[in-house]
Structures are given as C-alpha cells and as structure tokens.
Amino acid sequence: MEKKPFFQGLAKKTIAVALAVILWAFTNFELDVERDLRVPLHLSGLPESLIITNKQPDSVDLSLRGPRNLLSSFDYSNKSIPVDLQKTEQGVLKIDLKRAASQVVPRGIDIVAARPTKLSLNIDRLVTKKFKVKPVLGELDSGYEISKDIKVVPESVEVRGPASQLATLETIETAKIKLEGEKAEFTAPAQLQLPSQYMEVLEGDHVNVTVHIKEIILTKEFRDLDIVPRNFGELEYSTNSELKATLVFDGPYKTINNLTSNEIKVFIDGAEMGESRQKRLRVKVQYPSSTNLLKLKSLSPRTIRVRVKAPPVEESPKT
C-alpha cells in the first residue's frame, strides 16, 4: 500500500498549530483578568502590656488584576495578611489594608481594591484592679424580707482589662440570684458578670452568696370589738364605760393577714367579783393559739369597773 507523504497537508497543520499557539498566548497573557479573593487577617506582636478593645474583621476581601497565568497560579490557601504590632503604643492605630496586602500578593498582580480599606485599632493599657463584689438579688415572695447583711465569699476579686474601662467601674456584679420560694437562710453560687468582653477575673468566675430571709412582722389593729360579760348569772350589774375594746397584734405576715375579728374573743369574768359589790375586772382576750408567733401588743381598756346591784332585802312576815 502506498504511504502518504509526510508533508501532505502541511500548510493546514501549520495553520492549526499557529492558531493554537495564538489562542494559548491570548488566554495566558491577557492583562485585564480580575479575581476576587478572601484572605485571612493576622495580627501579631502586640506587647503584653497592651490590649485591643474593638472588634476586628477576621479576613479581607481583595480584588486582584493581572495576567491570567499569574492569577491562576497564585496559591492563597496558606496566605494571610500580616499586621505587625510590635511597635504599637496606646491610642488609635490606623492601617491601610491595601498596602498590608501587597506583602503577600506576587509582583505583577495589582490590588484593585481591599474591603475593608482600612483597619482601625483601639489600643489601651492592660491593667489589674481589685473590685468589691455586688450581689444582684431577685424578687422576694410577698411577706418576706432580708434580715441580715448579705455575705459574699470572696468579698472582692481582681480583674484584668483595659485601663480606660476599669477606671469607670466601681463594683463587679453577680448574675441575678433567685429569691422566689426562699424563706430562710441559704447559700448559692453566683456567676460574676463582667461588663466587657475584654475583661477577665484572675481567679474563678463565681462567688458564694449567703442570704438571710425571714417573714415580715406586721402590726394589725382591731377596733370596737365587743367585750362580752361571762359568768354573771342573774346578777344585775353596771359598768363605768362602754363594753368595747381596741386591740393591736404583732405577728408574721401570713398569720397576721389571716387573723380576723371572729377569731378574737374579748370578755370580763363575773366569777372574779367574789363577794364584792364593786370591782375593777381585767379585760381578757382569747385568740388562736396554733402559733406562738402572734403577740398581743396593746389592749384598751385593760380593766372595766363593774358594780353589782345588791339583791332586794326580803321583808319578814308580820306576826
């Protein structure tokens, strides 16, 4: 079989190769190609005596322009934009992120834009200061009160943070301590609440708070209660005043609130007259004895003058 000459169709082959070379060159050397990247931001070298007190972005969005082959070969997966803070001082530091990004972008690639364009750092001195702990208490149940000073252990804590923020702070508060349902002394742990994310407690993050709770003692007055005569039988008697009394009781909130006049008996006892025709009788009071916490604080009147009429003298029969 006759072989085809090698140079047969050479012109067409040459044209095809030339077109491929031109296309490759056009593709790889075009200067107007753009690419958007997100590159991490890395802050380093801040002296231990300083602290940054405002939130910073984690990364910077870059718009790059350059030859396609350079952009496609630029491996940014292990790159970050460095910001060296070794020579930083207290105050506000402003950094041009476009200029900072130029440290990691290869020569031949232009940075069209950086978002954000600038980095603003608030730099403050890092100091330590001792503060008294202030417990924050919830609402007590009705009828209860705190009976003694609240005990906090430890009473004070050391806090480290920005000098300007610590200067305006007077105490460190706790999380709110629930008092609802508590009716006696109790101790509970309470989390310390720092007002800034840039502060930290040096030892521990909570304190123990002891609260003494007792029922409130109230006073209640009853007016115009009837003084009932007892054990006078058929004796006729008179008194020097109206048989009405005013009483004042002290007692725990719940007990005193539930006490009604129907449960209180006020009386004088005719049996105490004896053979006397006139006598000052003590006014006596009976009230619920289920609790010894209820106390009669005052009673008026305390005595009633009673006069018993003499029985009629029987006449002797005439003889």
In the chain the domains, ranked by start, together with CATH numbers, are 32-116 (2.170.120.30), 125-215 (2.170.120.40), 217-308 (2.170.120.30)
Q: What is the number of other CB atoms lying within 10 angstroms of the CB of residue 117?
A: 10
Poorest-pLDDT segment among 23-32, 213-222, 246-255: 23-32
Q: What is the rounded CA–CA span in Å between residue 34 and residue 31? A: 9
Across the chain, mean pLDDT equals: 89
Contact by Cβ (8 Å): 217, 252: yes
Contact by Cβ (8 Å): 246, 223: yes
Q: What is the pLDDT of residues 121-175, one digit of tens each?
A: 999 999 999 999 999 999 999 999 999 999 999 999 999 999 999 999 999 999 9
Q: Name the residue type at position 204.
A: G
Which of 233, 256, 215 has its CA nearest to residue 309? 233
What is the structure's pLDDT at 302? Answer: 96
Q: What is the rounded CA–CA span in Å between residue 160 and residue 128? A: 4
Q: How confident is the model at residue 5 (pLDDT cuts 50, 70, 90)?
A: low
CB proximity list for 178: less than 8 A, separation 6 or greater: 138, 188
What is the structure's pLDDT at 32? Answer: 65
Q: What is the rounded CA–CA span in Å between residue 193 and residue 133? A: 10
Q: What is the rounded CA–CA span in Å between residue 45 and residue 61? A: 23
Q: How confident is the model at residue 10 (pLDDT cuts 50, 70, 90)?
A: low
Supply 291's token pair: 């609790």
Contact by Cβ (8 Å): 277, 245: no
Contact by Cβ (8 Å): 248, 287: no
Q: What is the rounded CA–CA span in Å between residue 222 and residue 236? A: 29
Q: What is the rounded CA–CA span in Å between residue 166 and residue 123? A: 14
Q: What is the pLDDT of residues 23-68, one digit of tens each?
A: 655 555 555 689 999 999 999 999 999 999 999 999 999 999 998 8
Q: What is the pLDDT of residues 167-207, one digit of tens each?
A: 999 999 999 999 999 999 999 999 999 999 999 999 989 99
What is the structure's pLDDT at 74? Answer: 84
Q: Three-class SS of residue 259?
A: coil
Give the rounded percent of residues in the chain with a pLDDT score beyond 70: 87
* Alpha-carbon distances, residue 242 vs 221, 226, 227, 234, 281 (angstroms): 19, 9, 9, 20, 14
Q: Three-class SS of residue 253?
A: helix
Tell me: cis bond preceding 40? Omega within 30 of 0 counts.
no
Q: What is the radius of gyration, based on Cα positions, of the chain?
A: 48
Q: What is the pLDDT of residues 87-96, one digit of tens each?
A: 999 999 999 9
Q: What is the rounded CA–CA span in Å between residue 163 and residue 129? A: 9
Q: What is the rounded CA–CA span in Å between residue 203 and residue 233? A: 81
Which of 76, 55, 174 has its CA nearest to residue 122? 55
Q: What is the rounded CA–CA span in Å between residue 188 and residue 197? A: 25
Supply 67's token pair: 């030859």
What is the structure's pLDDT at 288? Answer: 86
Q: What is the rounded CA–CA span in Å between residue 78 and residue 84? A: 18
Query: Taking 60 as the threshold, does the pLDDT of residue 7 lie above it?
Result: no
CB proximity list for 91: less than 8 A, separation 6 or greater: 123
